[in-house]
Structure 1
Amino acid sequence: MSQELKPCPFCGGTNLQVTEASSYVMCYGCDADGPVGRPADAAIAAWNNRAAPVPPAGGEPNLNRTQEQWRLVDAKLCAKQNSEAANEFLILDAQYDIAILGSYVTRLQAEVAALQARLTVADQRVDDLGSKAKLYDQLQNGAELLPNGWVITIKIERDGGGVTLIDPQGNDIDYPSNRESMGDEIEDAIEEALALQGES
């Protein structure tokens, strides 16, 4: 790796690993996951450059008056019955509470953004796992449906690969497949083998 991993922004841990299969950083201290990035250097850069999460707001904001107390304040009554100093004090209380609520809302919005970022990473991982499950199902299907004597070989290379269909006599069989997914190519090879087996 050409870059060093920064500590986990959630727990400060350094027990980190870049997963090989999906290229994302995982913290073994708190199970936090970084954004998926390929190649691995992209995953490390995404991990190192993301914003640290905002600590939870932790309960209700500390206001001068409760919401119910503010509802009971009658501006017209205050103007008639309160002294100017009392009204100024009330205005200062209101300004303070508005500022506190504003910062509280900002913190909550930051928490939502941090949770949304983690959800996006989780969604990417679910998609990756779904693709792997589909490929596994297609391999299982091939093992069950492929006629006796027929062989499917899978060649995997960096950034590519291929599927080859071989008949019982050892001949490579061309079959129509213009799909990008290796799993879909496996399905096409199985269908071709079944069709040719049915012709003989």
Structure 2
Amino acid sequence: MSEELKPCPFCGQQDAFVEQLDSDASVVICQGMVDEHSACLARGPVGVQQSDLEDQPGRDAAIAEWNRRAQPAEAEGVVDTGSDAWMALHLLDRLSVDSSDELRVMQVEGIVKSMSAALSAVTAERDRLREELERNQLWHKQTTDAGAICMRERDQLRAEVEGLRKDTALGSVVQRACRDLPEGFVIAVWLEKDAGTLELCLPDTDAVLDDFDGDTFAEKISNAIDAAMAAKEA
């Protein structure tokens, strides 16, 4: 069941009908008389057919559009700038048709009121969008800053873990040297700032070996232990 048509917002009369435009659309037209010789002829937004079961295509949509733009949009918290602007454009169009000075004054007042309402609605919507943009920009900045902090903390933790790994590896290889280094072999380590030297001293001789591969001291000590065990077996 379709809605009942509300009074015309231009002339205030309850004298409108729904006319079918084509095969899938209809529109509400007011035929109320505004003076002895002139009809209002206000037209609502075009309603488009929503279902194949409609007796008159677009009738329900046209009535809904006619009634919707006659209601204050603020009641539902929705800014509707089209309704007031559409009403004003209709009144402007009627100015060129009606000749009554009194009616022209009424229409001009209606135009001013409608355009003022439309401008207020547009301004409110602009301010709302501006505030939303500022909130989004602030959220983006906060998210970016938080991401940068997380990355710095991640890199710091990685460095700490790597340091602990190296310390653990060095401790393990020292324990291995104490356990597996053949008797008489000595691993000598000389350390200074930003540098270090490692030598494997062979027993019963002044010979030393100091060419051990490895990216860390732990790897070099481990290779020195292997070299000592190989020399012992030779």
Q: CA deviation at 1:122?
A: 2.0
Structure 1 residue identity aligned to 2:221: I
1:97 aligns with 2:132: yes
TM, length-normalised to structure 1: 0.54
Q: How does 1:148-163 map to 2 (within 5 A)?
A: 148-163=183-198
Aligned length: 127
CA distance in 1, matches of 2:169, 2:185: 22
Q: CA deviation at 1:89?
A: 0.9
Unmatched 5+ residue regions in structure 1?
A: 1-71
Bigger-Rg structure (1/2): 2
2:182 alignment partner in structure 1: 147
Q: SS of the counterpart of 1:179?
A: coil
Q: Residue deviations 1:34-69, cap 9 Å, x none?
A: xxxxxxxxxxxxxxxxxxxxxxxxxxxxxxxxxxxx
Q: CA deviation at 1:80?
A: 2.9
RMSD: 2.6
Structure 2 residue identity aligned to 1:146: L
1:116 alignment partner in structure 2: 151
TM, length-normalised to structure 2: 0.47
1:80 aligns with 2:115: no
Unmatched 5+ residue regions in structure 2?
A: 1-75, 86-116
CA distance in 2, matches of 1:73, 1:189: 80
CA distance in 2, matches of 1:176, 1:99: 64
Q: 2:164 aligns with which of 109, 129, 138?
A: 129
1:188 alignment partner in structure 2: 223
Q: Is the 8 A contact 1:147 1:194 kept in 2?
A: yes
Q: SS of the counterpart of 2:214?
A: coil
Q: Residue deviations 1:161-189, cap 9 Å, x none?
A: 21121233253432542434222221121
Structure 1 residue identity aligned to 2:217: M
Higher relative contact order, structure no. (Cα contacts within 8 Å, ≥ 6 residues apart): 1
Structure 1 residue identity aligned to 2:165: G
Q: Is the 8 A contact 2:213 2:219 kept in 1?
A: no
Q: SS of the counterpart of 1:111?
A: helix
Q: Is the 8 A contact 1:152 1:164 kept in 2?
A: yes
1:198 alignment partner in structure 2: 233
Q: 2:202 aligns with which of 157, 167, 189?
A: 167
CA distance in 2, matches of 1:96, 1:181: 57
